[in-house]
Amino acid sequence: MTSTTTTMTATTRFIARAPGLNLPTEVHDAALKCLVDWCGVAIGAREEGAQDAARRVVAGWGSTGRARILLGGTAAPAAAALVNGTMAHCLDYDDTHVGAVAHMSGPTWAAALALGAHLGHDETRILQAFVAGFETGARLGRGAGHALNKRGWHSTGVFGCLGAAAAAAVLLELDETQTAMALGAAATQTGGITASFGTMSKPFHAGKAAFNGILAAELAAEGFVANPDLLEAEGGMLEAMVQDGTARLGQADFDAGWELLHNTFKPYASCLLTHPVIDAARRLAEGDDAGKIEGEKIEGIAVDVSAACAQLAGKPAPTTPLEGKFSTAYCAALGLTGRLATESDFSTGNLGDPRIRDLVERTELRAAEGRDMRSARITLRLADGGERVAETELALGNPGNPMSWDDLRAKFDALVEPSFGPRTGELFDCLADFTRPGQAGRLDRLLAGQ
């Protein structure tokens, strides 16, 4: 087990040396996929109430800065990151690091882009900052994220905050001592309650994590003194959140591979824990006997899921589209009725569809502590006594069953085209080739509508 001191020393050393990172091609590619996906899901949330409220509040602050607010003006970095980070998580369609059970790209890219633009950094340095932030939050969260979520803490608000602080530390060129202070200042601001899932507070957690991370690093740059041992110290962040002492931060061995390569992208616009259920439901709907199943009376639907799925995505009777994203029963009904579980499927109309309502009412979730959260099984019990079964061992989008660049492009186009029209392709190309010189300025002009 890595000691606290060793964890902090290794982490701050890694962050301080990030500008010299020699990124393998596959890590560079993964970071760009995160950027494309981040921007797509954020722009796709242009009409969501959470981002609108955050945007109006930030406008009222009248902050000044060169950080771009997506589909808006400019502001101070933390203020812009608050809006953009919230936007990125509004649809619950953003990528997820399963090991930390956290949406790392949402707050980390929001922080890196906002502060990078404000300070005038080039594309490579901004990407290095994102990678440093993602690796920091994901590595510290590996293992601990499960314990936090089980106890009601939203790990995105915890490890996303630490990731955003790390990214900001790179861009502010903090030394190792200052970086330790930034992480300490970030750790004391972490939070987010899982009972708020299905409301606007969940995406706010991602936006606030980005805001808090930048604020922590900016304070450290000005000589702010925090507890640099706050992550695991007695009475510190982890002990306060997991008081039975059963959780430990992931080991800070930054030579043991790249956490970015273990990231998961979402093909469906719902809580990641519902995805293996949707995969299984769609296979039943698309099978050779789908028509027969549709025409027969379904007596009951048993859905075997992980304990985490039942806890965090177990809303039995959703009444709003946002609650539907955290209802495994509703997501199963979408798949069984042939829907693709894209953003448009989480609608008031579908919630009121008699067929879907009937399927939701007949669905029983059966949670198993030992089941992998990336797997699920659906069993349809039919009126004639027969059964139809489909099982997902590894949901689409996970490493081992990944989404391709073509898959991400299709998702991006569907989310962005309503806002960008024929310029959607230009925006995608800019993001996918972000580290080419001049792309940061081009991205800013595109996002400003120029």
Cα–Cα distance for residue pair 441/450, rounded to 1 Å:
11
Examine the domain organization and report whether 168 and 287 are in the same domain.
Answer: no
Q: What is the pLDDT of residues 70-108, one digit of tens each?
A: 999 999 999 999 999 999 999 999 999 999 999 999 999
**Is the domain of 40 the same as that of 148?**
yes
SS3 letters across 434-448: CCCCCHHHHHHHHHC
Residue 189 near residue 318, CB atoms below 8 Å: no
Specify the pLDDT at position 4: 47
Same domain, 310 and 254: no
pTM of the model: 0.90
What residues form DSSP beta bridges with 343?
none
Are 418 and 386 part of one and the same domain?
no
CB 108 within 8 A of CB 163: yes
User: In this structure, are 303 and 412 located in the same domain?
Assistant: no
Q: Cα separation of 107 and 157, whole Å?
A: 9
CA distance 424 to 418: 9
In a domain, 284, yes or no: yes
On whether the CB atoms of residues 172 and 222 are closer than 8 A, the answer is: no
Same domain membership, residue 415 and residue 386: no
Q: Locate tokens 């007695």: which residue?
A: 234
- State the total domains in the chain: 2
Tell me whether residue 424 is in a domain.
yes
CA 203 to chain centre: 9
pLDDT of 104 reads 98
DSSP symbol at 203: H
Report the pLDDT value the prediction gives residue 449, as an integer from 0 to 100: 78
CA–CA gap between residue 41 and residue 431 (Å, rounded): 13
* Residues 165/13, Cβ–Cβ less than 8 Å: no
Please provide the DSSP assignment of 279-327 as one string: HHHHHHHHSTTHHHHHHS-EEEEEEEEEHHHHHHSB-SS--SHHHHTTB
In whole angstroms, what is the distance from residue 88 CA to residue 46 CA?
10
At 21, is the pLDDT very low, low, confident or very high (cuts 50, 70, 90)? confident
Residues 373 and 439 in one domain: no
Q: Are 106 and 39 in contact (CB under 8 A)?
A: no
DSSP state of 236: S
Report residue 255: phi and psi, to 5°. -100, 5
Quickly state the pLDDT bin for 172 (edges 50, 70, 90). very high
- Are 66 and 170 in the same domain? yes
User: In terms of DSSP H, where are the helices of 91-122?
Assistant: 105-119
CA distance 126 to 387: 53
Query: Which single residue is written with the structure tokens 């949670």?
Result: 367
The secondary structure of 36-88 as a DSSP string is: HHHHHHHHTTTT-HHHHHHHHHHHHHT---SEEPTTS-EE-HHHHHHHHHHHH
Helices 155-171 + 176-187 axis angle, to 10:
150
Q: What is the pLDDT of residue 415?
A: 96
Domain that holds residue 295: 272-392
* Position 411 in a domain: yes
pLDDT of 388: 92
Domain presence at residue 296: yes
Instruction: For 401-415, write each residue's pLDDT tens digit.
Output: 999 999 999 999 999
Q: How far is CA 264 from the centre of its chain?
A: 9
213 and 89 within one domain? yes
Q: How many CB atoms lie within 10 A of CB 59?
A: 15
Residue 434 lies in a domain: yes
pLDDT exceeds 80 at position 419: yes
Residue 399 lies in a domain: no
Examine residue 398 and state whether it is found in any structural domain, yes or no: no
Tell me: pLDDT of 384 over 90: no
Question: Is the same domain home to 279 and 263?
Answer: no
CA dist., res. 376 & res. 386, Å (int): 20
148 lies in the same domain as 225: yes
- Cα first-last separation, the chain: 52
354 three-class SS? helix
278 and 258 within one domain: no
Evaluate whether residue 397 is within a structural domain: no
CATH of the domain at 359: 3.30.1330.120
Q: What Å distances lie between residue 226 and 36, 178, 317, CA to CA? A: 35, 10, 45
Find the range with the poorest average confidence among 153-157, 250-254, 281-285. Answer: 250-254
pLDDT tens, residue by residue, 265-310: 999 999 999 999 999 999 999 875 555 565 567 889 999 999 999 9
Q: What is the CATH number of the domain that holds 422?
A: 1.10.4100.10
Measured between alpha carbons, how far is 84 from 45 in angstroms, rounded to an integer? 10
Question: Phi and psi (nearest 5°) for 317?
Answer: -140, 75
Average pLDDT over residues 369-393: 93
Structural domain ending residue among the three candidates 369, 392, 415: 392
